[in-house]
């Protein structure tokens, strides 16, 4: 059974600081997703990582995937308040069937 562990679950950051969210998973998968969710809203796709060593960047967010270690990271650079949200990683168990981590609630304070 595929399990996805995400940490930390809560993250309070100051603006301008850097931090990393970690996503570990228990069985082999070739595809990992990162999503952002704002309160009361659905999921916004941030990154789809398809292969070992994949690195993608968008603005202040950068995601990477190490399939051998079964680890993905979401790195936040110079955080700003607008990044406050809940971030989920999800691992594809089979075509389109995603197992989600518990989410990381990020709060960026001035």
Partner 1 sequence: GAVVSQHPSRVICKSGTSVKIECRSLDFQATTMFWYRQFPKQSLMLMATSNEGSKATYEQGVEKDKFLINHASLTLSTLTVTSAHPEDSSFYICSAYGLLHRGGNTEAFFGQGTRLTVV
Of 99, 87, 109, the residue nearest 7 (C-alpha): 87
Rounded Cα distance, 67 and 43, in Å? 24
The interface region with partner 1, picked from 15-23, 62-70, 75-83, 85-93 by CB under 8 A, is 85-93
Which one among 87, 88, 106, 108 touches partner 1, defined by CB under 8 A?
88
Task: Return the range that interacts with partner 1 (CB under 8 A); candidates 14-22, 28-36, 58-66, 68-76.
Answer: 28-36
CA–CA distances in Å: residue 23 to residues 2, 10, 15, 40, 71: 13, 14, 23, 23, 6
User: How big is the site for partner 1, counted in residues (CB under 8 A)?
Assistant: 22
* Residue 43 makes contact with partner 1 by CB under 8 A: yes
């Amino acid at each position: 059974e595929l399990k996805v562990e995400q940490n930390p679950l809560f993250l309070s950051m100051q603006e301008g600081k850097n931090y990393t969210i970690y996503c570990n998973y228990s069985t082999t998968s070739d595809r990992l997703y990162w999503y952002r969710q704002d309160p009361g809203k659905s999921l916004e796709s941030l990154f789809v990582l398809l292969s070992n060593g994949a690195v993608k960047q968008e603005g202040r967010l950068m995601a990477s995937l190490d399939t051998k270690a079964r680890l993905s990271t979401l790195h936040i650079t110079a955080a700003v308040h607008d990044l406050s949200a809940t971030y989920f990683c999800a691992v594809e168990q089979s075509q389109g069937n995603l197992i989600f981590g518990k989410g990381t609630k990020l709060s960026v304070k001035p």
